[in-house]
């Protein structure tokens, strides 16, 4: 374990992801300062966080050992960046996905922090090189990309800038473990990081199968949720293959030729627009309620499923 285990965490941007990070850090016992350029947004975030924590408490899903009041007492709001950054050991940026905006905020942060604080971005796909180039504290900069909602889905992709110090990666890794997330280290940056590259490969083939009239949109989703996804909640694609034969090498020997043959039938990158997009969209709505209601109900159900799955996974953790 490295040394970044206690101190003030600063969240920049109190929207969807900023709120979730604040809850995750508070559940790990850290003091959190929540900063947003929109003052009212901070007050709304604090109210929403309490509401979410109380719901979680009721359903037995509140993370950590502290009560709602104890966790809430660790989180405070702030609408002045310089004040927010006093005593910061770790900054998690959560402002909208715009390179220009993020570069501006990192330049401001760079002026107000000490030489040991870590500056981390939640970006989904912006390049660490483009975001952090030229900063005085570039050695302390890293991407910590969460998966929505981070409270239930623990993966965090850690992506370094070429000048990020190895100690920054290790300290961020330890911090993520400490708050109960599951960090992975990318050894270098790549467009889309890893989670989205895998996700885009799947969504691209799902699109093609619908486009080519092989299967309906609803059924292709079932192939994942009732088939592949059942395993993937516990095992990755490589270990899945390993267990489906007598080791990964044996899997390649048995199935490699077939996999290569099928892969040669994959076509070009889909357009992601036009008739196929309309067909998929139409298939995913029902006529029973308004679109907003459908999204809200389905998201609530998704979060419930993910929270139960997280509990199950923690109960049946494999120890070797
Ligand atoms: N939503 C997701 O599913 C998801 C998943 C993983 C990563 N991310 C990444 O997290 C980041 C935040 O996404 P979000 O969905 O929480 O966005 P959001 O729009 O919900 O929240 C952004 C917040 O940033 C605030 N803000 C804007 N400019 C600011 C500034 N200059 N200083 C301080 N605060 C400012 C806004 O007022 C708002 O409260 C993005 O980079 C996004 O790509 C999002």
- The 10 Å CB-count burial string (b at 16+, else e) for 247-262 is eeeebeeeeeeeeeee
Query: Which distant-in-sequence residues (6+ apart) come within 8 Å of 157 by Cβ?
Result: 143, 144, 145, 183, 184, 186, 193, 194, 195
Q: Which has the closest alpha carbon to 62: 110, 28, 17? A: 28
| Number of C-beta neighbours around residue 25 at 10 A | 27
Q: Where are the domains of the chain?
A: 8-185, 195-284
Q: What fold is seen in the domain 195-284?
A: 1.10.1040
Exposed, middle or buried: residue 264 (CB in 10 Å: 0-12, 13-18, 19+)?
exposed
Q: 320 falls in which pLDDT band (50, 70, 90)?
A: low
Least confident range from 23-27, 61-65, 208-212: namely: 61-65
CATH domain 8-185 topology? Rossmann fold (3.40.50)
Which residues neighbour 153 within 8 Å (Cβ) at sequence distance 6 or greater?
146, 147, 306, 310
Q: Which atom of ligand 1 is nearest to the CA of 95?
A: 24
The per-residue pLDDT for range 144-174, each reduced to its tens digit, is 999 998 998 999 999 999 999 999 999 999 9
Q: What is the pTM of this model?
A: 0.93
Average the pLDDT over 214-240 and give the result: 97
Distance from residue 291's CA to the centre of ligand 1 (Å): 23
Q: Give, for ligand 1, the residue of 43, 48, 95, 193 to mutate: max count of ligand atoms closer than 8 Å to Cβ.
A: 95
């Amino acid at each position: 374990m490295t040394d970044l285990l206690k101190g003030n965490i600063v969240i920049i941007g109190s929207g969807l992801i900023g709120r979730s990070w604040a809850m995750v850090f508070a559940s790990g016992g850290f003091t959190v300062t929540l900063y947003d350029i929109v003052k009212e947004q901070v007050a709304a975030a604090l109210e929403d966080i309490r509401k979410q924590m109380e719901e979680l408490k009721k359903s037995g899903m509140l993370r950590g050992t502290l009560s709602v009041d104890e966790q809430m007492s660790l989180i405070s709001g702030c609408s002045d960046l310089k004040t927010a950054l006093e005593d910061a050991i770790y900054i998690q940026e959560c402002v909208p996905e715009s390179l220009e905006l993020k570069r501006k905020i990192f330049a401001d942060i760079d002026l107000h922090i000490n030489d040991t604080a870590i500056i981390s971005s939640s970006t989904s796909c912006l390049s660490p090189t483009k975001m952090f180039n030229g900063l005085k504290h570039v050695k302390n900069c890293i991407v910590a990309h969460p998966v929505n909602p981070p409270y239930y889905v623990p993966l965090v992709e850690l992506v370094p800038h070429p000048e990020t110090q190895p100690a920054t990666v290790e300290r961020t890794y330890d911090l993520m473990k400490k708050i109960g997330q599951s960090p992975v280290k990318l050894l270098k940056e790549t467009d889309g990081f890893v989670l989205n590259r895998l996700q885009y490969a799947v969504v691209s083939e799902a699109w093609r199968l619908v486009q080519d009239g092989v299967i309906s949109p609803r059924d292709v989703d079932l192939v994942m949720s009732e088939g592949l996804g059942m395993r993937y909640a516990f095992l990755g694609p490589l270990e899945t293959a390993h267990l489906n034969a007598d080791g990964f090498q044996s899997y390649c020997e048995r199935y490699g030729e077939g996999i290569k043959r099928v892969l040669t039938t994959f076509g070009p990158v889909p357009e992601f627009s036009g008739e196929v997009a309309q067909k998929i969209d139409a298939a995913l709505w029902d006529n029973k309620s308004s679109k907003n209601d459908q999204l809200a109900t389905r998201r609530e159900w998704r979060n419930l499923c993910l929270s139960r799955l997280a509990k199950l996974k923690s109960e049946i953790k494999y120890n070797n």
